[in-house]
Amino acid sequence: MIAKASVRDYLSFSAIRTYQGCPLRYKFKYIDGIPEDRVSSTLIFGCAIHAALEHYFHQFMAGEPQLPNVPELMDVYQQNWSTEKTILFGSKESRASMDQLAEKMLRNFLASDLSTPTERIVGIEEDIRGELLPGIPDILGRIDLLLESTDVVIRDLKTSRTSWDEDQASESAEQLLLYAELVKEMFPGRTIRLQFAVITKHVDPRIQLVETPWDQHRLQRTKQIVKSVWQSIQGGNFYPNPSPIGCSSCCYRPQCMAWNGT
Ligand code: SF4
């Protein structure tokens, strides 16, 4: 069976990840286009923190003499909680507890070196798109921070329950390796470095900068994964892949239970 053509003429890394997590969920979301009616508090919290940091770095890049303070960043954060979807909170979470945590995270960020990058900022939430391999759609991505000094730096901003180490960065490197492959044409001959800026959700949030090395084998492996996923999508291979974590945040459970293979 050949899958119905997706309305999208590109692949995002999150779409690839969705397919790897559950092919049927991918179908409901990206092929059938069924809107998601709920969102996890973790996702919306991370997006709101991202929006606040994006606002901060735009002001920093513009050379504004008065950089945003915590209340200004919290305003941006609050605005980004606006959604018509049902927000699913964890058992020990509430909006108030997450707001308190956000304030601490943003305060610690402003006090850290991460708020004053020494490299030149050349892109914030920079959209990139390009061909990764012949025969598969373009990859579309968004780089949180693109920095330039002697080297070019792709920096991904993360919120995390736990501190990161080099192993965690290495495990998460695939997305940045693909993005590096897409931006290397813009910076011929330059070394591209991959970094994660991590703000933890601890009582006293940690601010970390963790670098992961370029790995050519890993890049080729990731490209092969993307190719295999795309071939599987084109082959119409959609089936439920239940897991406690995946299904608990999935809004397609009614459609999933009604699915009969067609
Ligand atoms: S409920 Fe679970 S198995 Fe079904 S589509 Fe969602 S993630 Fe997949």
* CATH code where residue 42 lies: 3.90.320.10
How remote is the CA of residue 32 from the centroid of ligand 1, in Å? 15
- In angstroms, the Cα distances linking 241 to 4, 30, 237 are 20, 16, 12
Main-chain phi, psi angles of 160, to 5 degrees: -150, 145
Domain-located, residue 77: yes
Give the C-alpha separation, 203 to 112, whole Å: 16
Output the residue whose Cα is nearest ligand 1's atom 7: 247
**Hunting for tokens 């601490």 — which residue is that?**
104
How remote is the CA of residue 24 from the centroid of ligand 1, in Å? 7
* pLDDT band at 9; cut points 50, 70, 90: confident
How remote is the CA of residue 250 from the centroid of ligand 1, in Å? 6
* pLDDT band at 103; cut points 50, 70, 90: very high
* pLDDT for 7: 53
Query: Candidates 17, 19, 24, 239: which one to mutate for ligand 1, based on the most atoms within 8 Å of Cβ?
Result: 24
Ligand 1 atom at minimal distance to the Cα of residue 240:
3
Give how many domains the chain has, as a whole number. 1
Cβ atoms 139, 129 nearer than 8 A: yes
Angle (CA) 215-219-222 rounded to 5° is: 135
Output the residue whose Cα is nearest ligand 1's atom 2: 247
Q: E strands, the chain, where?
A: 10-12, 38-40, 86-88, 120-130, 138-148, 152-160, 192-200, 207-212
pLDDT tens per residue, range 149-180: 999 999 999 999 999 999 999 999 999 999 99
Tokens of 141: 């991505």
Domain-located, residue 220: yes
**Hunting for tokens 């997006």 — which residue is that?**
47
Cβ atoms 110, 91 nearer than 8 A: no
Query: Residue 14: pLDDT above 80?
Result: yes
Cβ atoms 143, 177 nearer than 8 A: no
Ligand 1 atom at minimal distance to the Cα of residue 250:
6
Ligand 1 atom at minimal distance to the Cα of residue 251:
6
* pLDDT for 82: 83
pLDDT tens per residue, range 174-222: 999 999 999 998 899 999 999 999 999 999 999 999 999 999 999 999 9
Amino acid at 180: A
Domain-located, residue 100: yes
Mean pLDDT of the chain: 93
Ligand 1 atom at minimal distance to the Cα of residue 246:
7
Q: Which residues' Cβ are closer than 6 Å to ligand 1?
A: 22, 24-25, 240-242, 246-247, 250, 252-253, 256
Angle between helices 216-234 and 173-183 (to 10 degrees): 90
Residue 76: name the closest of 40, 34, 47, 98 by CA: 47
Cβ atoms 136, 148 nearer than 8 A: no
- CA-based R_g, the chain, Å: 20
* pLDDT for 88: 87
Q: Which residue has the higher pLDDT, 6 or 248?
A: 248
Output the residue whose Cα is nearest ligand 1's atom 4: 256
* pLDDT band at 92; cut points 50, 70, 90: confident
Supply the range of the domain harboring residue 94. 23-258
Max Cα–Cα distance, the chain, nearest Å: 61
pLDDT tens per residue, range 123-133: 999 999 999 99
How remote is the CA of residue 49 from the centroid of ligand 1, in Å? 28
Domain-located, residue 164: yes
pLDDT tens per residue, range 23-50: 999 999 999 999 998 888 999 999 999 9
* pLDDT for 249: 83
Domain-located, residue 161: yes
Residue 193: name the closest of 208, 207, 210, 206 by CA: 210
